[in-house]
Amino acid sequence: AIERTLSIIKPDAVAKNVIGKIYSRFEEAGLKIVAARMVQLSRAEAEGFYAVHAARPFFKDLVEFMISGPVMVTALEGEGAILKNRDLMGATDPKKADAGTIRADFADSIDANAVHGSDAAETAAVEIAYYFPALNVYSR
């Protein structure tokens, strides 16, 4: 089915100047960019986005990292977009990510892991709505 998923290029990858390289991987895999915005997240925005992880021991470091610089927030659309994006990203921990994945190629650590991607259809809808009003998602 045609799905949408939320991608965030995290501060480490933005700082490395690889937004375009990561976008190319999405496009070459048949995913279309249907919304995009560069944003310096506030602490409240980062905490709200990752609220599901609020009780986890890594939460504070995760929020600190996500507000350490601008991120590129992008909605992707395409056949099986959620799983396709997760396959392109590779494992959360770059040490465990398969060769040729975004995290294997661009990430430094489990915190500075280059990209975020929605993990399921329900979270994708919530995450896209968190950053983009419906009228700013240009399905095509």
What is the rounded distance in angstroms from the CA atom of residue 58 to the CA atom of residue 65? 11
Which of these segments, 38-46, 76-84, 110-118, 123-131, binds ligand CMP (CB under 6 A)? Answer: 110-118
What are the φ and ψ backbone dihedral angles of 78, each rounded to 5 degrees? 165, 175
Cβ pair 129, 140 in contact under 8 A? no
How far does CA 51 lie from the centroid of its chain?
Answer: 16
Smallest distance, Å, CB 92 to ligand CMP?
Answer: 5
For residues 68 and 63, what is the distance between their CA atoms, to the nearest angstrom?
A: 9
Work out how close the CB of 68 gets to ligand CMP at its nearest, in angstroms, rounded to a whole number: 12
Applying CB under 6 A, among 74, 85, 101, 113 the residue interacting with ligand CMP is 113
| Whole-number Å distance between alpha carbons of 30 and 53 | 30
Q: Is 111 in the site for ligand CMP (CB under 6 A)?
A: yes
Spell out, one character per residue from 52 to 81, where the chain touches ligand CMP: x when CB under 6 A holds, - when not: -x----x---x-------------------
Residue nearest ligand CMP, CB atom distance:
116
